Amino acid sequence: MRGTDAPAAKPKIRVLIADDHAILRSGLKLLVDSQEDMQVVAEAADGKQALDKARETTPDVALIDLSMPRTGGMEALQKIAGPGAKTRVVVLTMYDDPAYLRSALAAGATGYVLKRSVDGDLLSAIRAVHRGGIFIDPSLAKILVQDVITTQQGKTGQDKPPRLLSDRELQVLRLVARGFSSKQIAGQIFVSAKTVETYRARLLEKLGLRTRSDLVRYAVHTGLLNPEALDK
């Protein structure tokens, strides 16, 4: 009598979780590990650890928070999802502004999930990007489509070149738009956090803007967050 071979188990989706909140990481790990087709292979509490863990474990999918200490989430995203990368990145964030979504996609993310809807959408996002697709939080999908349409229909203020800004102001603008805090920016450009706040106020005044989200939107629309610009 011939024996029957059991079908080979399908490889699980290997997941990296990068978030600076330990309680959230623990909850995400429980959620992911409870799925038959997924397993958490590494965790990271900041952007630098995320890069190191991604290189060590080469996960299929990395969940990256945009706001993390040390190396920022946007910079970690760009490097993990760079050309030829085997890891797909899902951004897990509190930012529901389309400008952050656009900058994340420009940096290489293929998924974008808001933390407020993580239970319902995160697992779908992981599976979707692992299959080679793209997953955008439903609450932002329509906004993104409209944003793209608006961009194509009228580029009046969007093409405004940043020539009125100094090199230092451009540097601060890029870092603000990439999600770094004033303290983190101060450490990178060797000035005080108060000086960074002064630069940010000056940027808002020069550009006729009001909020941090406006600065991110401006940076996206003028190409300062394109992958090439992120290397500067």
CATH, residue 27: 3.40.50.2300
The pLDDT value given to residue 207: 76
* Same domain flag for 100 and 214: no
Domain that holds residue 178: 162-230
- Number of structural domains (the chain) is 2
Mean pLDDT by 10 residues, the chain (232 residues): 60 95 94 95 94 95 88 85 88 85 85 84 91 85 61 48 72 84 89 91 81 77 61 50
Task: Return the SS3 of 107.
Answer: helix
Q: Quote the CA–CA distance of 10 and 144 in Å, as a whole number.
A: 35
Domain closes at, from 87, 120, 151: 151
Query: What is the model's pLDDT at position 174?
Result: 85
Closest CA relative to residue 213, chosen from 166, 147, 142, 150: 147
Helix (H, G, I), strand (E, B) or coil at 113: strand
Chosen domain end from 129, 151, 173: 151
Please state, in angstroms and as integers, the Cα–Cα distance from residue 213 to each residue in 8, 176, 178, 201, following that order.
49, 10, 11, 13
Does residue 168 fall inside a structural domain? yes
The pLDDT value recorded for residue 158 is 45
89 shares a domain with 30: yes
- Return the sign of the alpha-carbon dihedral for residues 97, 98, 100, 105: positive
Give a yes or no: residue 47 inside a domain. yes
**Amino acid letter for position 142:** K
- pLDDT at position 225: 65
The predicted pLDDT at position 83 comes to 79
All residues at 6 or more sequence positions from 52 whose CB lies less than 8 Å from its CB, including other chains: 44
- Report which of 77, 103, 86 is spatially closest to residue 19, judged by C-alpha positions: 77
pTM over 0.85: no
Q: How many CB atoms lie within 10 A of CB 13?
A: 21
Determine, yes or no, domain membership for 2: no
Q: Is residue 157 part of a domain?
A: no
Q: Within this chain, do residues 19 and 94 fall inside the same structural domain, yes or no?
A: yes
One domain for residues 18 and 124 = yes
Same domain, 134 and 174: no
Same domain assignment for residues 28 and 120: yes
111-114 and 135-136 beta bridge pairing: parallel
